Structure 1
Amino acid sequence: MTRFNQPLGGNEMPRFGGPATMMRLPAAGTAEGLDVAFVGVPMDHGTSNRSGTRLGPRQIRDESRMLRPYNMATGAAPFDHLQVADLGDVPINTFDLKKTVDIITSFYREVLSHGTIPLTLGGDHTLTWPILRAVKERHGPVALIHIDAHADINEAMFGETVAHGCPFRRAWEDGCLINDKVFQIGLRGTGYAPEDFDWARDQGWTVVQAEECWGKSLAGLMQIVRDRIGGAKVYVSYDIDSLDPAFAPGTGTVEPGGLSTWQALEIIRGCVGLNIVGGDVVEISPPYDPSGNTALIGANLLYEMLCVLPRVPISPARLSGLAF
């Protein structure tokens, strides 16, 4: 395979220079010939609290300049096996959220038509619904691994059915999901009624609240997830507010008691072997992320998704073997 898609290395160009693309990869105008495409969706008009996620894709790309092509933990070298590029941003309508969701579906319909796997830099969580509509057109209903502090299954917010608290209710209504293969991990915080989480359970979804994850490795959970999903096609949606605000303060709806960064890595790495057809990282809000660390974590999670895609061999690096 011709490796035209290697990230620009830090020894070739200082990390503060070079192209402002994801991992300083080549930019592409179309998904034709690509196995994987990074896509930005710079929107925040679906948010209900603090805004700023429209700046998320740009900040994720900026912080991704620290990433290198080889995964030292899993042995994955995704750019040796996949053609990858950055397609830039979806040209959303910043004044009309309902038009925006149709623009997103149309954009991803084109990407998916080339057999390309999209990995999305968000943007608020509204965007996952229109992406799932396009995914259904291409692949049919899919399994879902949704990591989040919130269930995002509201019937409406302020009377509106399109918002970042509603995407998975809309996806369910549109028949985008395989109900017995939907997993929501990390839900927590206060609510209005038990139905805030129980509606999902009533549909046959598996809800793993954050309290069940405290102080634990999540490797065992991900074995259960893999066993239940099996060979079904799966979409992975990672809301950065699933992490405790001590790790990721740069988001609009923070909740205490969240996941750790190492648990986040366990979840994504635990998707290895699944037939992933798309993924996203959403709700990074740079105005509340002065250090850039939240965006850096988001960039790393997107890279980890790339490392567990089909056709990327995994050969975990040898650890010391010491018992401590």
Structure 2
Amino acid sequence: MGFPGAVADREDADYAVLGAPLDVSTTFQPGARFGPERIRRFSQSYDDYDRRTDHHFSKCGVHDAGDVRAWDDATDYLDYLGGSLADLHRDDVLPLLLGGEHTVTAAGVRATDPDTLVVLDAHLDLREAYDGNPWSHAAVVRRALDGDPADDPLSAVDGVADRVVLLAARTGSKAEWERAEQDDVTVVAPEDVADWEPDLAGEDVYLSVDIDGADPSVAPGTGTMEPFGLSAREMRDVVRQVAPHAIGFDAVEVNDRDDGQAAALAGKLLKEFVFSHAAADPDH
């Protein structure tokens, strides 16, 4: 089942949906491997037409490239996935990555090498390692900023972000909060996200949406729920603001432990991203 409206051929595409069902370092409730399929399935009912932008999704040049089947060696998988994403980026096709656990964002950042990584997430994800694993989903923002701790760049791509903006982060270890105080990290608390004014002009931005940035009452189908999060509308508004500056997008950490609420939100945010990005592009 392809993402609805993603009907463009690969050679004609401006955007490409790519599933990355990695699910090896989930620390509480597993099931992120089902995320790409669920996001596609629970997006089937959405209208093709967007009144705000006067765009049809099916005419925005979106291609569904299927999934990159995951295996249990995360570093090897990220290398392969990063190569697939880099191929899209080199062809001026904007990747729309569907996780899978949040670790897959490292491949997206490596492939696109953005100036700024904007992350909607309940967690800081700035650990050097979690349970000894530097490629845990709990360390993905640290990897996107500081690269491979083994100082052994992967063969396909090894880009990192110059800075990160963490929106709705509300929990982390003491060491993570100390890392967040450095100049290359900005943390915007959930209660301040509605008033956040992005300063992204002239920058290449990668936008990562961890669905647990939303409050669990909105999106319970995720691995590590954290109360006091964002509303669906607040998530939407961030996506609309950031999309015009973006060169890559992902929606991650959706699992199968709800009735489709998390997947439905992730799919809608993907569509909002494409509509907003396409509306800001004069070629559309």
- Sequence identity, in percent? 32
Q: For residues 59-117 of structure 1, what are the alpha-carbon distances to aligned partners after superposition, in whole Å with 9 as ceiling and x for unaligned?
A: 10001101122223x2241547631110000132x222221111111111222221100
Q: 1:76 to 1:205 in 2, by over 3 A?
A: farther
Give the unaligned 5+ runs of structure 1.
1-19, 315-324
Name the aligned partner's letter for residue 265 of structure 2. I
Alignment partner, residue 166 of structure 1: 139
The yes-or-no answer on 1:302 pairing with 2:270 is yes
> Which shifted more, 76-85 or 141-150?
76-85
Correspondence 1:258-297 to 2 at 5 A: 258-271=229-242, 274-286=244-256, 288-289=257-258, 291-297=259-265
Alignment partner, residue 185 of structure 2: 205
Which one of the candidate residues 54, 58, 65 is aligned to 2:44?
A: 65
Q: For residues 242-297 of structure 1, what are the alpha-carbon distances to aligned partners after superposition, in whole Å with 9 as ceiling and x for unaligned?
A: 0111011000100110101111111112225x3211100100011x11x2121111
Q: Is the Cα contact below 8 Å between 2:53 and 2:276 reproduced in 1?
A: no
Name the aligned partner's letter for residue 129 of structure 2. A
Q: For residues 101-151 of structure 1, what are the alpha-carbon distances to aligned partners after superposition, in whole Å with 9 as ceiling and x for unaligned?
A: 111111112222211001111110000001111112xxxx42121100001
Q: Distance in 2 between matches of 1:95 and 1:204?
A: 32
Kindly state the Cα deviation for residue 200 of structure 1 after the two structures are TM-superposed: 2.3
Alignment partner, residue 173 of structure 2: 192
Q: For residues 281-319 of structure 1, what are the alpha-carbon distances to aligned partners after superposition, in whole Å with 9 as ceiling and x for unaligned?
A: 100011x11x212111110011111112155569xxxxx
* TM-score with structure 1 setting the length: 0.78
Name the aligned partner's letter for residue 96 of structure 2. L
* TM-score with structure 2 setting the length: 0.89
Q: How many equivalent pairs are there?
A: 271
Q: For residues 11-67 of structure 1, what are the alpha-carbon distances to aligned partners after superposition, in whole Å with 9 as ceiling and x for unaligned?
A: xxxxxxxxx211153375xx4321001111111112122110000000100011011
Name the aligned partner's letter for residue 156 of structure 1. A
Q: Is the Cα contact below 8 Å between 2:120 and 2:213 reproduced in 1?
A: yes
Q: Distance in 2 between matches of 1:49 and 1:103?
A: 26
Q: Distance in 2 between matches of 1:82 and 1:275?
A: 17
Kindly state the Cα deviation for residue 201 of structure 1 after the two structures are TM-superposed: 2.7
CA RMSD of aligned residues (A): 2.0
Alignment partner, residue 127 of structure 1: 104
Correspondence 1:1-324 to 2 at 5 A: 20-26=1-7, 31-72=10-51, 74-77=52-55, 79=57, 82-92=60-70, 94-136=71-113, 141-174=114-147, 176-179=160-163, 182-189=164-171, 191-193=172-174, 195-213=175-193, 218=194, 220-221=195-196, 224-225=197-198, 228-271=199-242, 274-286=244-256, 288-289=257-258, 291-310=259-278, 312=280
Q: 1:309 to 1:206 in 2, by over 3 A?
A: same
Q: 1:130 to 1:80 in 2, by over 3 A?
A: closer
Q: Distance in 1 between matches of 2:278 and 2:201?
A: 14
Q: Distance in 1 between matches of 2:192 and 2:245?
A: 26
**Larger gyration radius, structure 1 or structure 2:** 1
Alignment partner, residue 150 of structure 2: none
Q: Is the Cα contact below 8 Å between 2:5 and 2:58 reproduced in 1?
A: no
Q: Distance in 2 between matches of 1:110 and 1:271?
A: 23
Name the aligned partner's letter for residue 99 of structure 1. D
Question: Alignment partner of 1:254: what SS?
Answer: coil
